[in-house]
Structure 1
């Protein structure tokens, strides 16, 4: 009866030791994975900082352009108000101003679309870079695994 008790205790100790070994390996692998993810996120953060700075500069230029257009539009409006009663000449002048305003509005709309496209392309680029880094990490992990297998023989 005592032998069964001692054998049971020994079996429990061996099982606990195996459990501890497997948990240790699992936690070590998890730590390496989290470290790799952390490094990847740092790289993405740096890239996003660059994109954010460039986008900020682009928005500042767009705002400056909008302010300039607004000032010019106000100047044109004051000229139109001052010359309103001149007749046919003023009529032709108003037509010209309408064409200029339409062209300026189109240019502003085109600028908005270009900014939107730049942002979309930057998101696509970041996704492609992340996928490339994931593949590289998987290849490195496979290489390390093969290397460990070779050394174990």
Structure 2
């Protein structure tokens, strides 16, 4: 029975040896995995440093652009106010022109009879003028080369009776 005890102790020792060997293999494999993870984390850290720098640069540029936009917005506000003033002036001008047009049209309506009379009298005057022009060449003797002689005026003493 002692042999059995030695055999079981030897089996336990072999089992323990196998356990230690498998544990060592597992730890070495784990070491490789941890080394790979450490390399990956180191690469990520350097990449994150680059991203952090780029993000900071972008943030500074964004702040500069925001300030520039704010300045331009303030300048644009004055332009918008000026355009608004021009629009108001144009609207007032349109209102004034509308009032003047309404006033003129009302005056024309009120003076319609007078305007018609003026047009009629001007037509009559034009007809008289045209008739006079057509009649005048018939009365003359067509000798327009020489002016018509003028009659002498009597002396001033003889004019009064």
TM-score of the aligned structures, taking structure 2 as reference length: 0.49
Q: Partner of 1:69 in structure 2?
A: 69
Q: Which is higher, the Rg of structure 1 or of structure 2?
A: 2
Q: Partner of 1:53 in structure 2?
A: 53
Structure 1 moving runs of 4+ over 4 Å = 88-91
Q: Partner of 1:118 in structure 2?
A: none
Q: What is the CA–CA distance in structure 2 between the aligned matches of 1:90 and 1:58, rounded to whole Å?
A: 46
Deviations 1:13-64 (A, max 9, x none): 1111111111112112211210121012101110121122112212221221
How far did 1:84 drift?
3.1
Matched, 1:87 2:87: yes
RMSD: 2.4
How far did 1:90 drift?
8.2
Q: What is the CA–CA distance in structure 2 between the aligned matches of 1:17 and 1:35, rounded to whole Å?
A: 27
Greater relative CO (CA pairs within 8 A, separation 6+): 1
Q: What is the CA–CA distance in structure 1 between the aligned matches of 2:90 and 2:77, rounded to whole Å?
A: 12
Q: Partner of 1:78 in structure 2?
A: 78
Total equivalences in the alignment: 91
Against the structure 1 CA distance between its residues 50 and 74, is the aligned structure 2 distance closer, same or farther, given a 3 Å change threshold?
same
Q: SS of 2:36's equivalent?
A: helix
How far did 1:83 drift?
5.6
Q: Any stretches of 5+ residues in structure 1 without a counterpart?
A: 92-153
Q: Partner of 2:20 in structure 1?
A: 20
TM-score of the aligned structures, taking structure 1 as reference length: 0.52
Q: Partner of 1:6 in structure 2?
A: 6
Q: Any stretches of 5+ residues in structure 2 without a counterpart?
A: 92-161
